[in-house]
Structure 1
Amino acid sequence: MPIERTALRTAIAVLVGGVAVILDSTIVSVALHELAADLNADVSTIQWVSTAYLLALGVVIPVVGWLQSHLGAKRLWMAALTVFLLGSVLCSFAWDAPSLIAFRVVQGVGGGAMMPLMMTMIMQAATGPDRARLMSTVALPAAVGPILGPVIGGLILGAGDWRWLFLVNVPLCLAGLFLAWRMIPADAPGRRVRLDVVGLALLSPALVALLWGLSNVSGGGGFAQLDVLLPLIGGALLLAGFVLWALRRRGDALVDLEVLRSRPTWAATTLMFLSGASLYGAMLLLPLYWQELRGETALAAGLLLIPQGVGSLLSRTAAARLMDHVSARWVALIGFVLVGVATVPFALAGADTATWPLLVALFVRGLGMGMVMIPLMTVAFIGLEREKVPHASIVTRIAQQVGGSVGVALLAVILATAATGNSLVSAFDIAFWWTVGFTAVAVLLSFLLPGRVATEGGAPASPEPALAPAKA
């Protein structure tokens, strides 16, 4: 059965604009050395080019649902994409490190609004089986962005100036704006709610503190550093405060945590956290393995990761079709098993291990990651009312973002700690075994996903309550 035309047009429009945001963060990561040299900045300063972008995401993501209720999805999408475009152009004209960091914040504000909104718009436009098939399209940049971004960034740096890392976003953003104007149907703002000022004052600083603390873990002291411990403790306390506040306010909270009473939603959210840890954590280890143990250049290491991106490309459509015949639970389970099994060869590898078996393993790992994302991004919204979809989108996005940061931080500490008492080969083996462990936990939790995604008629299945209903 063909996908409903309006839903397909919406998916195409948001994909073109969204791909620039997803690729941008990983493209820039390969250019920090060149940026430090050209802007006469030290490494600790230039790291804020990435950190400031990450923190801006943490500030904006929680307010996306409130903004959508006031502006409507189409207006908010085009406004956020315009802000991201403006930030990209400004970054290309940066004259020193502080100006570049400030302009990256502008980029992060636009990108932070777009990421959860992308899923919300697809889920609200599509129904039944269309959701899984459209998610296979929307998940494309999310699956291959972390893999292809460093390759594209390396090619741009090899051919020209670092400013083109930001200017490459311009045609994508302009095309995305045109398609959004022409293809996304106009929508009226939803039920307007007052801004939950207390919730905003708790949640946004909580995310900023957590992400900032985790980004500082790579320093010599690991989690024992004050600039890690203090933000993490403060962020955890603020987050706990927000949870208590949101449970009291229910539907009037900045992010309605009542959506987590649906078992599909909280199970998918937990697995999004683990998939973020597994994907982004491994994306720290894999390039380092090729460079530090195998002596490859940064560009060569990026090219060697292409099989993983190809695997993700090929499996995303297959996963959507497979969900028409078996449950989301089994698709996710198979995906996580493939990711875990394909990571084992790296946990056993040394400096002289043959390259081709590792490339095959990367391809299989990509197949698994592509299969995992489709059911998780689909089942998180099963049975939710339309006005609850933005809240579920924000919750899952936060889980994936924080999960990725936790994975990177933990594996950075594990690798550094293991390297002090072992050879570098053994240190990498230990770190990769931890990655396999993350995936094993995800395999077990996959059994909590629902057995079916849709009823025979194509309507979303009713959610299975995770908790007893709250008393009035």
Structure 2
Amino acid sequence: MTTSPPGVASDKLDRQVFIVAGVVVLGAIMSILDVTVVAVAQNTFIETFNTSTAGAAWSMTGYTLALAAVIPTASWAASRFGTKRVYMASLVLFLIGSVLCALAWNIGSLVAFRVIQGFGGGLLMPIGMMIMTRAAGPERVGSVMAVLGIPMLLGPIMGPILGGWLIEIASWHWVFLINVPIGIISLVYAFFALPGGDEEPGKKIDVLGLLMLSPGLALFLFGVSSSAEEQTFNAPRVYIPMIIGAILIASFITHALRSSNPLIDLRLFRNPTLRTAVITMSLFAIAFFGASLLYPQYFIGVRGETTLTAGLLLAPQGIGAMLTMPIAGKMTDKIGPGKFVLGGLVLIAIGVSAFITLGTDTSYWFLCGALFVQGLGMGMTMMPIMSASLATLRGHEIADGSTLMNAIQQTASSIGTAVITVIFTTSLSPLTRAFMQAGQDQDKGLEVMKDQGLITATTTPDQIPAIAAQAKGTVAADMASTFGNTFIVATVLVVLTLVPAFFLPRKKMVLGGGADEETQTPVVMH
């Protein structure tokens, strides 16, 4: 145990913090990679289980809904059983779910096992953030969040590469089995490395709050996710669960503000730094995760690249983030997050806006350069926002703050993905939408060309290849143009994030929520 005297708190991460960080990062890698890796396997699931695109998509939706349902319990579980026990139990549940997913015999069993996996994965990130924030202390939260941010930012990039590679060299089963060795190592590592003794055995759960918030989030996100399939928000399957979910969430907010022991303490919003960080994170997650969905779709749908190649083309984004993230983390602890977040958002806006000019033959050098600039911005943005939300919290507030930020990030990410998907799909021409639904099925492709009047009774068989090639070119051009138009919306969303980010602290965040830096209270590190 080391004690930092007033005003002399060290901003360097010691060996013990790095050991703890290793455990958390391994768990985060599994949880986040599993979302993007499974996205790559959608076509494989359609063929293997003889299901529809909508049926296969439930392998992703089920996982997301499980995350939303379990995240609100993170704060209570950490207090009641201790962060070490909850983290290890989550790893075990995630491992069991992964093995079961690899043994799935139809799409229904796969979705059910993905839900089990999601119940485990949902607690890994919020509990991991609690563990790392407590281990590092508030004066080093920026540096430690930068470490945790590596899997959060690289997951969407490495997922397609890993997923495509595993499916190509082995089978879809390894998309899930790859978690087993990583999970076992993480479990053993956690047993020896994580500190215990932070539980409160008498802590009671807010049952009423849980019955409101968990189903509310799950229903709301189910409606949001369904909008992508329905291609509109104006469908009963979309707005009915969204409305019910919103009512349950609003009821929880009212309940939490009156309760003496709420599931999540929403009184934390009285903290102006947390409040600003939450608003900034919400807008950023909508813009960033919504835009991220489009890049691989463009490379695969318009340029005809494989999933593996598309993943490699996204690598410059990860490289850029890796360069700036450690610097931003350390400097956030010294001068506050405001300046870095503003600069990062400007870089992201520049990078995203470059995709407005997309065509069917846009230079890969140009696009990879734009992705690199985005990556530089991402490394300066996401984790400093997280740092701002947690750095002024103390004791049990860290658990509530971590749970709150993860729930909001999950919700905002789903909203961003749904909004961008609906804008993109509804902007496509009827011909393009029809061809996208037909996929690689040649018979369905012929039906589309007949329905669209491209093939008539007078068309000879030898004319069909030329007609198909022309239609393919038209579809590619329409898709490229629609991608460009959709990136206009994504750019606007990034720019809007500058408004709340402007109010983030631009000097070192003080401890105790208001003390002068010269009178900071001692920080005891375990």
Bucket of the pairwise TM-score, normalised by the shorter protein:
over 0.9
Q: Give the alignment partner of residue 410 of structure 2, picking from 394, 401, 405.
A: 401
User: CA–CA distance in 1 between the matches of 2:234 and 2:380?
Assistant: 37
Question: CA contact under 8 A between 2:231 and 2:426: conserved in structure 1?
Answer: no
Which residue in the other structure is 2:487 paired with? 432
User: CA–CA distance in 2 between the matches of 1:288 and 1:463?
Assistant: 49
Q: Secondary structure of 1:380's partner?
A: helix
Question: CA contact under 8 A between 2:141 and 2:333: conserved in structure 1?
Answer: no
Residues 226, 295 of structure 1: CA spacing in aligned structure 2 closer, same or farther, 3 A cutoff?
same
For 1:165-314, list aligned pairs within 5 A.
165-190=175-200, 192-249=202-259, 251-314=260-323
* More divergent stretch after superposition (238-247 vs 265-274): 265-274
Code of the residue aligned with 2:135 in structure 1: it is: A
Code of the residue aligned with 2:419 in structure 1: it is: L
Deviations 1:123-151 (A, max 9, x none): 12222442111111111000100111111
Deviations 1:27-84 (A, max 9, x none): 1111011112112222222211111111111110011111111110001100111110
Q: Secondary structure of 1:224's partner?
A: coil
Q: Secondary structure of 1:393's partner?
A: helix
User: CA–CA distance in 2 between the matches of 1:34 and 1:128?
Assistant: 45
Which residue in the other structure is 2:155 paired with? 145
Question: CA contact under 8 A between 1:452 and 1:461: conserved in structure 2?
Answer: no
Residues 171, 462 of structure 1: CA spacing in aligned structure 2 closer, same or farther, 3 A cutoff?
farther
User: CA–CA distance in 2 between the matches of 1:192 and 1:9?
Assistant: 30
Q: Percent identity?
A: 36
- Give the paired residue count: 460
User: CA–CA distance in 2 between the matches of 1:274 and 1:451?
Assistant: 20
Deviations 1:134-176 (A, max 9, x none): 1111110001001111111001111011000011001111111
User: CA–CA distance in 2 between the matches of 1:24 and 1:423?
Assistant: 32
Code of the residue aligned with 2:115 in structure 1: it is: V
User: CA–CA distance in 2 between the matches of 1:128 and 1:68?
Assistant: 19
Q: Which stretches in structure 1 are left out of the alignment for 5+ residues?
A: 465-472
Q: CA deviation at 1:362?
A: 0.3
User: CA–CA distance in 2 between the matches of 1:322 and 1:123?
Assistant: 17
User: CA–CA distance in 2 between the matches of 1:172 and 1:155?
Assistant: 17
Question: CA contact under 8 A between 1:270 and 1:399: conserved in structure 2?
Answer: no
Q: CA deviation at 1:463?
A: 8.9
Residues 78, 100 of structure 1: CA spacing in aligned structure 2 closer, same or farther, 3 A cutoff?
same
User: CA–CA distance in 1 between the matches of 2:358 and 2:56?
Assistant: 33
Q: Which stretches in structure 2 are left out of the alignment for 5+ residues?
A: 1-9, 431-476, 517-526
Q: Give the alignment partner of residue 392 of structure 1, picking from 371, 385, 401.
A: 401
Code of the residue aligned with 1:292 in structure 2: it is: G
Residues 341, 36 of structure 1: CA spacing in aligned structure 2 closer, same or farther, 3 A cutoff?
same
Residues 206, 463 of structure 1: CA spacing in aligned structure 2 closer, same or farther, 3 A cutoff?
farther
* More divergent stretch after superposition (421-430 vs 390-399): 421-430
TM-score for the superposition, normalised by structure 1: 0.94
Q: Secondary structure of 2:481's partner?
A: helix
User: CA–CA distance in 1 between the matches of 2:231 and 2:508?
Assistant: 45
For 1:330-349, list aligned pairs within 5 A.
330-349=339-358
RMSD, aligned α-carbons = 1.8
Q: CA deviation at 1:408?
A: 0.8
Q: CA deviation at 1:450?
A: 1.7
Q: Give the alignment partner of residue 100 of structure 2, picking from 62, 87, 90.
A: 90
Question: CA contact under 8 A between 1:4 and 1:130: conserved in structure 2?
Answer: no
Is structure 2 residue 46 aligned with structure 1 residue 36? Answer: yes
Which residue in the other structure is 1:441 paired with? 496
Which residue in the other structure is 1:360 paired with? 369
Which residue in the other structure is 2:506 paired with? 451
Q: CA deviation at 1:221?
A: 4.2
TM-score for the superposition, normalised by structure 2: 0.84
Q: CA deviation at 1:12?
A: 1.5
Question: CA contact under 8 A between 2:140 and 2:333: conserved in structure 1?
Answer: no
* More divergent stretch after superposition (189-198 vs 202-211): 189-198
User: CA–CA distance in 2 between the matches of 1:150 and 1:192?
Assistant: 44
Q: CA deviation at 1:351?
A: 1.5
Question: CA contact under 8 A between 1:127 and 1:460: conserved in structure 2?
Answer: no
Q: CA deviation at 1:191?
A: 7.0
Is structure 2 residue 13 aligned with structure 1 residue 3? Answer: yes
Residues 289, 63 of structure 1: CA spacing in aligned structure 2 closer, same or farther, 3 A cutoff?
same
Residues 35, 463 of structure 1: CA spacing in aligned structure 2 closer, same or farther, 3 A cutoff?
farther
Q: Secondary structure of 2:123's partner?
A: helix
* More divergent stretch after superposition (4-13 vs 232-241): 4-13
User: CA–CA distance in 1 between the matches of 2:349 and 2:27?
Assistant: 32
Which residue in the other structure is 1:25 paired with? 35
Residues 423, 96 of structure 1: CA spacing in aligned structure 2 closer, same or farther, 3 A cutoff?
closer
